[in-house]
Structure 1
Amino acid sequence: MGAFNLRICVLAAGLLMASQAYAAYTMEQMCAQWSGKGYVGNPNDCTGWGFCQGQNLVAWGNCSPNQTYNAQLGICNWSNQTVCKSNPVSTCQLATSPMYVADPDNCNQYYNCDGKGNSQVFSCTTGSVFSASGPACVWGPTCPQDSICQYMLNDIFVGDPKHCGQYISCSKGVGTSGTCASGYYNLQTGNCEPKNTCDSSNSGSTTDDQFTVGDLSGAKTCANGWAAAKDLSTSEETVTYKFVSDGATCYGYYYCATKESVGVWNSCKTGTHFNPKAGQCVSPAAYACPYNRCGNVAATFMATVNSKCGTYTYCAKGTTANCPAADPYFDEVHSICTSGTLNYTVCTEEVNLTN
């Protein structure tokens, strides 16, 4: 592995490809669930890797030219021998032998590489999904490639991001959920222990570090947020409930049955932010959230509010940087620096950062 290069990191936003697949987990989230020490793959870059230690992402970098990172083996290998999970077309163009590759955007589809640079897209039958570890179409509603293990080493145990106190066994990029015969899985130690170490900071959401689903709001939260929350699909007179921002995260909201009720906390689907004026979960670019915009999104970089998208934030460190002068605007939807003016709300709307 090469040494981490800060200059490469700062300029990387200008080099990210618009065709990259949306990842279910970031490298930071994978490290947080693993008690061990070692490498993980970068879901947004076929050549990228990160190094986990103490449940934190402590280093990152890229393989040499013409190499792709193999997350299950933890090595950089020749690109014509290694599947690029976020870009199957690229894999097929480089492959020198026939292979099947999962479609990162549609679990029902897969690519057939002929080993001569060509590819064809096929679909599994209704009710089945493609499993890259097979490779084969298998029955079931869950996409095997959505596992946290997809970019992690073979033969390791990690915490289950959706069920704290349980574990997942990683093998060939697929995770098998498990529970301790007695006690709870402690993701800090990697062992089953009698004491349950789960609390609101590790309750089971991959993005929730302040709240637990079902938490109750303060007495006046619903009353204070009632005026700001408006359901766009229904008139004010007929709405009998509201969704109110939690006032701390970009993705959390309270369900308020009435203005006088106590709110119940919930989280937007991964990849979205809660817009309190719309009362809906929306694309992050469609709402200029005044809180940490990296929360609940599997993105390496996010545009910085009040910068007209002239600045972006590196989510792993919380630091900011500017795009190069030739392409001065950061387009977070496509993860690229561009010269074209952007009309996303996050680029055009000024927000009060003291909210």
Structure 2
Amino acid sequence: MGGTLARRTDTVISAINMRICVVAACLLMASQATGYTMDDLCQQWSGYGYIGNPSNCHAWGYCKNQEVVAWGTCPNGLVFNAQAGSCDYANTTVCSTSAVETCSNVKSPMYVANPLNCTEYAYCDGTGQISYGDCGTGGVYSASSTKCIWGPACPQDTICRFMLSNIFVGDPNQCGNYINCVNGYGTSEKCSSTANPYYNKATGNCQSTNPCTGEDSNSGNSDQFTVGQTNATACDEEAFKAADPLTVNGESVDYRYVSDGVTCYGYYYCAAVNATGYWNQCPTGTQFNAGKCVSPASFVCTHNRCGNVNNPFMADEGCKNYTICSSGITGSCPTNAPYYDEVNNICTTKIPDYAICNSTAST
């Protein structure tokens, strides 16, 4: 099922020429390496028009009212150019889903990203041949600059890769943010207005109320505590005795610091057993463990490890996966550098010697 889309110089084709999908199950929504489907793309866009199919660079969809209402395939081997919204010649258009296909068609030497592995890039020699290069440990390829940069985030892994250029869409990884898609690239942004700080993907406007369900941020700094906040039971006998004894200048002191049991970075000052607890937090970049504020990598916190740190990513136990702190989504390093080093913010071939990496919970 579906229609065909001829090569056009204009970016928008009349909806009259499209075959409208009646049964949603008929839509070509197979996910590609990015994990996006055409349905995902349309849900983030308040406008209407053509999008690329993340599973097939020859195929397209049409968004209207945040739904895929039509789909089709370019005729005669043409490749769909998502940024222009039209089918184009394969010898001049990068296939968004296959470096091999791009290199088999282009007539001039060029570098392209490998859609299946962001640490690699492909070189097309212009005669149909392809060779691969690697960005090395911790590096990823940036197609926009044709250079290797530090990872682990992949510049090509954005819905803009399949969207029209010069449009605004919602960020599927952080509700309430927007992305300005330009030439297949874009970064997540917050609305600049203090009065209207939230982006509504359904209207395409910034607004005062949060349109998201649940948290729109995974920062871990939930504002449920304030410095100096009191708790009458935080210093009960069980919690006080479980806390590590403290010494100052080599001498023992009577007070203790007790974890708040909710965050990785908060604790209560307890002057004595059953005293009122006063909440405090570790300096930014550190977390609370055994009565001290220490590096998050030095121990395994069972709460949200993204709290109170400036890192965009934090390793999960075993360091084979990491958490994207802005959204809470789990990511993973490539197979040729499978471990995430959160201190240096790179993917590496050798497992880092941090407590979080040596945890047996994930092995």
Sort the TM-score into its range (normalised by shorter chain): 0.5 to 0.7
Q: Which amino acid aligns with 1:24?
A: G
**Percentage of pairs with the same residue:** 46
1: CA distance between counterparts of 2:39 and 2:142?
25
SS in 1 for 2:57: coil
Are residue 71 (structure 1) and residue 82 (structure 2) matched? yes
Q: Distance in 1 between matches of 2:72 and 2:115?
A: 22
* C-alpha deviation, 1:46, in angstroms: 1.3
Structure 1 segment 103-182 matched on structure 2, within 5 A:
103-181=114-192, 182=194
Instruction: Give, in angstroms, the shift of residue 48 of structure 1.
Output: 0.4
Q: How does 1:131-280 map to 2 (within 5 A)?
A: 131-181=142-192, 182=194, 183=196, 184-199=198-213
Paired residue for 2:96?
A: 85
Report the equivalent of 2:278: none
Q: How far is 1:30 from its partner?
A: 0.6
Q: CA deviation at 1:26?
A: 0.6
Q: Where in structure 1 do 4 or more consecutive aligned residues deviate above 2 Å?
A: 1-6, 9-13, 20-24, 202-205, 267-270
How far has the Cα of 1:168 moved from its partner? 1.1
Q: Which residue in the other structure is 1:98 paired with?
A: 109
Partners of 2:45 and 2:67 in 1: how far apart?
Answer: 9
Shift of 1:133: 1.8
- 8 A contact 1:42–1:50 mirrored in 2: yes
Q: 1:26 to 1:116 in 2, by over 3 A?
A: same
Q: How big is the shift at 1:190?
A: 0.5
Q: How far apart are the structure 2 equivalents of 1:85 and 1:180?
A: 29
Distance 1:82 1:12, change over 3 A: same
Number of residue pairs the alignment of both structures matches: 206
- Per-residue Cα deviation, 1:8-44 (whole angstroms, up to 9, x for no partner): x99999xx9xxx9523211100100011111110011
Structure 2, unmatched stretches of 5+, are 7-17, 219-327, 332-363
Deviation at 1:203, TM superposition (A): 6.0
C-alpha distance 11-118 of structure 1, shift in aligned 2 (>3 A): farther
Give yes or no for contact 1:162–1:204 (8 Å, CA) kept in 2. no
Flag the 1:203–1:31 CA change in 2: closer, same or farther, 3 A: farther
Quick one: distance in 1 between partners of 2:87 and 2:147?
A: 25
Contact 2:20 2:69 in 1 (8 A): no
Which residue is 1:300 aligned to?
Answer: none
Cα distance in 1, alignment partners of residues 150 and 330 from structure 2? 25
Task: Check conservation: 1:24, 1:146, Cα contact below 8 A.
Answer: no
Residues 12/115 of structure 1: CA separation in 2 closer, same or farther (3 Å cut): farther
Letter in 2 for 1:188: A
Which structure has more relative contact order (CA 8 Å, sep 6+)? It is: 1
Q: In the aligned structure 2, how far is the partner of 1:171 from the partner of 1:268?
A: 24
CA distance in 2, matches of 1:188, 1:204: 19
Question: Against the structure 1 CA distance between its residues 35 and 173, is the aligned structure 2 distance closer, same or farther, given a 3 Å change threshold?
Answer: same
Rounded Cα–Cα distance in structure 2 between residues aligned with 1:12 and 1:154: 23
Q: What is the alpha-carbon distance in structure 1 between the residues aligned to residue 86 and residue 204 of structure 2?
A: 23
Name the stretch that deviates more: 140-149 or 33-42: 140-149
Structure 1 residue 163: Cα displacement: 1.5
The Cα shift of 1:79 comes to 0.7
Cα root mean square deviation, aligned: 3.3
TM-score, with structure 2 as normaliser: 0.51
The structural deviation recorded for 1:126 is: 2.5
User: Given the superposition, is the C-alpha separation of residues 37 and 180 from structure 1 closer, same or farther in structure 2, using an over 3 Å criterion?
Assistant: same
CA contact 2:121–2:141 (8 Å) conserved in 1: yes
Change (3 A) 1:95 1:40: same
Indicate how the Cα distance of structure 1 residues 36 and 12 shifts in structure 2: closer, same or farther if over 3 A, else same. Answer: closer
Cα distance, 1:102 vs. partner?
A: 1.0
Counterpart secondary structure, 2:56 = coil
Q: CA deviation at 1:139?
A: 2.2
Question: For residue 189 of structure 1, what is the amino acid of its counterpart?
Answer: T
What stretches of structure 1 of length at least 5 have no aligned partner?
206-266, 271-355
**Is 1:44–2:55 an aligned residue pair?**
yes
